[in-house]
Structure 1
């Protein structure tokens, strides 16, 4: 069984439950304990250590493929196996003889097929998406698999028949990130840009077991993804132990490249619940360590090209994360004032998202200036650099995230990140910022009503009916991404069985991780275009522009990489005028909220020119009558109670 989703309670508590290397009942995939190397201390004046310069060699990739193929042969399950580096470059795709050609996405619980439900994709696309997910969700402080992803994106957390009534997963909606239409995600390219990341994923992030990160000396260097069973789904019940062929084959590929035991998901607790890493166990695998590439290709299968992702007939070496070639590198002093900062680069030395002024002065009067953009990002980075991480090990590690700043048109005014933040947060932080800016904008309804899809347009009257306000989505409410998420859940309030869906969601009978509501409806055409490109039915790929809402400038709409619906972004106001938004992603959602909200509040105190939304228009000022004398309100942000390392400060967002 397979699936993904869930939300945290008001105060998220992480407990040190320790990662066992033993039985699969703990989700540990035991067998070979892999110690976590002690990282070197950060250079003088810095608080973070950058990951060591590790990468996958050609021989490493060949070994991973050979081990996975050996397990597939032992299990009688010929598979498609993909290997990527940490920034999403596809290094090899192996199709074993007899492997299924396609994977099918399950339909909704009522048998309907909306958005991506019911679609059939090439198996290679599924394998690549799983490998990218394992690489992108992981870091030196946490190792997450696609089974972990499945657990944190579903309508209840933890997902199981007995947990109905609990809130949704903390990363609800993250599967619709790293999209093939994203303007941030890089595409396969020649020359200096060949290896820059983060690369896009053909199916976004995956919740289908069979994807794992790959490590060398405690450093995440890539991911492996496997497709063998013809199904691309999720695990709807984490309380049992599955026997999943994709997962066994993928785990076998990681032998010798295992995630350190101490950082595996099964040693990380959210709200008292241990996450899952794998239902397979190293001890139950075939003896794959002696497998060689020479006896795998062509005896068991061959490398195959994948349009738009992998065009060579040979195994490639991975990029060294942190190098110019990888597209993610340490910032220069001219690019950002904090020496810990990393930025996105174009492979030739230029920052892809340098500090810049807002492009929207014609609409907002006084756009965000370069100085204001710099101060906002600096202050958010400073909050992160003191904050206690929610998902990283060891406990009391500092949070590591990506921070994105946009104007009201969704134009990036700067993107900055810590050295070892998970890669998935780059695209997601920009999605979050754009989402908060878009739905807080006076033109949100007009733009949605101009979308060519009747399905997309239908969410406007649904929202107006829900708010009992014919002028809803016209800038009268400041929507944080947490508030947007409240409206995008299949139950409102979140998790309460028997309640109707929020106005931006599908009803529960038609909902699934592949059909979330407005989020998925906006990009359905893009996904269909990309599927035709992948299969050769069309020579034209989807544009690097998600959704078909109207452009606000040539080649630019407000949701260029899609809508995101879990917490970590707030809009920015100059007085009562919306001027942009800040988005954060990479650690726990409450941490993301705090870094965005408190960073902006601190910038406001320093600048005196702009800041958080006025209290009167924030989404949490909006209440809803639930009947029987009950009311509820939207949430705006939730900050951890005592969030800073080395400090006993509490309620740090109170009164701001």
Structure 2
């Protein structure tokens, strides 16, 4: 099986080298990729039933991209998605590269091995879709983020290249929205247009992906691949001449993000984010007069089908916030809280509050509802970090799981970015899993990640079991991950999953859940990557037509040499894990009964909404609580540096002068 799989994949690599709806926006007569004149200043309430991309919109986006590519003498692959990740079209220009190489590290290829680094058989269509999804998923009416923004916030220093600074605020988010996620929906007749859809490669940090807007509200994203490297921007002090980004920038045209919502108008930790190194004056085509789409079919290029994502056609997108999109306003459980919930293709709620599955002390449906309602109230009062205008509420997704990682309830505030749905589940599951008595047993039972090198030779195995040993040695706790004695928050897991501990100081000891410095990269993070690697590789093989699709559980998938057989799959790791803040475990007395995860705004806001969501739930008696003080991970001081549990912002509320809301809890 292994030899056959390699032979077919190598052959594929060698051969590849040689609807109706709202109308299109008016042309930008100045030829600049800026938002339409007169667009309203939206703060979360502009989306309506007419906020979607029509099929003619999609065709025009592609036509603008092709025109810019032709003006530059390059061949591009272009993908367009709607706000919940439905792939509306993929267009490949004749002669465009069929594959890209995943490469994010400045370390030489000979020195760096493992993870997804230097894998050369990634279809360009997958990369283009991932870029488009990233632009759509990271954005909202309050913020417009691009794949260049993503690159800035996922690296080992923030800002990249600045010494003595911690990792990016969304360190690890690239491994979300995975193709193996059990939460993400797929391109099947039964699931229809319901989102959020999965991304073939998670979230992208390679410039060339932008959100698309109509009248101030996001309606989708566009992703472009021209060059052969799917990477990141390691130096943000210069201005790149990036062809992928220039073509995508032109593609957006009058559907570009409003300027006052773009990342370069937003700060994190006092640092301005990046949106695009391409400016309107850099474009070489007239975006106000693109060629007719029909004229492009044939010699110029073709619409292509991508297995698991789309047919070879153009279709309209869905209107975000309407039931067909998979996200609609709540009508049952969260009265007066302006809540939104996930629904299936029949309009039935997917994650309405329910009881836990883990025994007599399990969370009840009423308790889950109370905790989620409490977290919603905290979020609605909280001042957002990454949104404009200033002093608008935080917009987040909130998930409660039981101790086994089963989703007991999931709810969103208005206009929260879509990426936070999957990430809130990852965070909650990670906190519950690593705080449990069974984490060591389950990690020991998982199959190893079977790493491949750039020419598809089996490099080595990386067993998840190694992290049981590294955690015990690093923490000085011989029974860590087997006695349930430590409550790990998402923030503390992030501390332990950085290439240096404490974070940000090169030369400090290796975090026990991280790959070693020199081997670490955004595509080779450590336990986070090892848990999902085989499933991602299986999905790449599926898109290339070589094997069945990956299961809807990222854990337990064996390597290609074992036919991707599933063994030891863990429900609590079904969509991977996340390693930036925003989740805490939930206890009844001394017993772990679940966790809450929050994602969508600044990481301190995520922490606060999760922590106070439990603390202020209003439940009495033997009610669910935050972890006992003596169990929290901030009681541990490995290598002389205390782990963190939660970090709440100062003066965080819009309606109160309360300074330290998490103090003393």
CA RMSD of aligned residues (A): 2.0
Asked if structure 2 preserves the Cα contact closer than 8 Å seen for 1:212 and 1:223, the reply is yes
One of 559, 568, 590 as aligned partner of 2:582: 568
Asked if structure 1 preserves the Cα contact closer than 8 Å seen for 2:184 and 2:195, the reply is yes
Report SS of the residue matched to 2:513: coil
Query: What residue number does 2:78 align with?
Result: 81
Query: What residue number does 2:551 align with?
Result: 543
Query: What residue number does 1:275 align with?
Result: 273
2:68 is the counterpart of 1:71? yes
Query: What residue number does 1:591 align with?
Result: 605
Query: What residue number does 1:132 align with?
Result: 133
Alignment of 1:210-289 (within 5 A): 210-285=208-283, 286-289=285-288
One of 498, 506, 523 as aligned partner of 2:515: 506
* Separation (CA, whole Å) in 1 of partners of 2:236 and 2:361: 51
Report SS of the residue matched to 2:578: coil
One of 94, 98, 113 as aligned partner of 1:97: 94
1:554 is displaced (CA, Å) by 11
* Separation (CA, whole Å) in 2 of partners of 1:569 and 1:79: 40
Residues 1:476 and 1:301: Cα distance change in structure 2 (over 3 Å) = same
* Separation (CA, whole Å) in 2 of partners of 1:222 and 1:557: 31
Query: What residue number does 2:8 align with?
Result: none
* Separation (CA, whole Å) in 2 of partners of 1:461 and 1:423: 36
2:611 is the counterpart of 1:600? no
One of 330, 344, 353 as aligned partner of 1:346: 344
- Which string of whole-angstrom CA distances, capped at 9 and with x for unpartnered residues, describes residues 167-204 of structure 1? 0000000000000000000000115x210000000000
1:605 is displaced (CA, Å) by 5.3
* Separation (CA, whole Å) in 1 of partners of 2:602 and 2:620: 27
Query: What residue number does 1:320 align with?
Result: 319
2:168 is the counterpart of 1:174? no
Residues 1:370 and 1:50: Cα distance change in structure 2 (over 3 Å) = farther
1:223 is displaced (CA, Å) by 0.2
Query: What residue number does 1:426 align with?
Result: 421
* Separation (CA, whole Å) in 1 of partners of 2:160 and 2:619: 42
One of 390, 393, 403 as aligned partner of 2:388: 393
Query: What residue number does 2:113 align with?
Result: 113
1:555 is displaced (CA, Å) by 7.8
Higher mean displacement: 29-38 or 243-252: 29-38
Residues 1:455 and 1:441: Cα distance change in structure 2 (over 3 Å) = same
Report SS of the residue matched to 1:92: strand
- Which string of whole-angstrom CA distances, capped at 9 and with x for unpartnered residues, describes residues 618-647 of structure 1? 00010123xxxxx21000000000000132
Asked if structure 1 preserves the Cα contact closer than 8 Å seen for 2:476 and 2:638, the reply is no
1:295 is displaced (CA, Å) by 2.6
- Which string of whole-angstrom CA distances, capped at 9 and with x for unpartnered residues, describes residues 475-498 of structure 1? 111000000000000010000111
- Which string of whole-angstrom CA distances, capped at 9 and with x for unpartnered residues, describes residues 66-113 of structure 1? 000100111111010000000000000000011001000127525322
Gaps of 5+ in 2: 1-30, 449-461, 559-564
One of 575, 578, 581 as aligned partner of 2:595: 581
Residues 1:555 and 1:502: Cα distance change in structure 2 (over 3 Å) = closer
Asked if structure 1 preserves the Cα contact closer than 8 Å seen for 2:339 and 2:412, the reply is yes
1:165 is displaced (CA, Å) by 1.7
Query: What residue number does 1:414 align with?
Result: 409
* Separation (CA, whole Å) in 1 of partners of 2:404 and 2:170: 25
Query: What residue number does 2:444 align with?
Result: 449
Query: What residue number does 2:470 align with?
Result: 462
Residues 1:40 and 1:563: Cα distance change in structure 2 (over 3 Å) = closer
Query: What residue number does 2:16 align with?
Result: none
Report SS of the residue matched to 2:491: helix
Gaps of 5+ in 1: 1-28, 42-47, 626-630
- Which string of whole-angstrom CA distances, capped at 9 and with x for unpartnered residues, describes residues 252-296 of structure 1? 000010100110000001122110000001122121321121332
Asked if structure 2 preserves the Cα contact closer than 8 Å seen for 1:196 and 1:325, the reply is yes
2:610 is the counterpart of 1:615? no
* Separation (CA, whole Å) in 2 of partners of 1:190 and 1:416: 25
2:632 is the counterpart of 1:637? no
Asked if structure 2 preserves the Cα contact closer than 8 Å seen for 1:35 and 1:261, the reply is no
Report SS of the residue matched to 1:366: coil
TM-score, length of structure 1 as denominator length: 0.90
* Separation (CA, whole Å) in 1 of partners of 2:90 and 2:204: 17
2:173 is the counterpart of 1:165? no
TM-score, length of structure 2 as denominator length: 0.89
Asked if structure 2 preserves the Cα contact closer than 8 Å seen for 1:85 and 1:319, the reply is yes
2:489 is the counterpart of 1:480? yes
Higher mean displacement: 591-600 or 279-288: 279-288
Query: What residue number does 1:208 align with?
Result: 206
1:31 is displaced (CA, Å) by 5.9
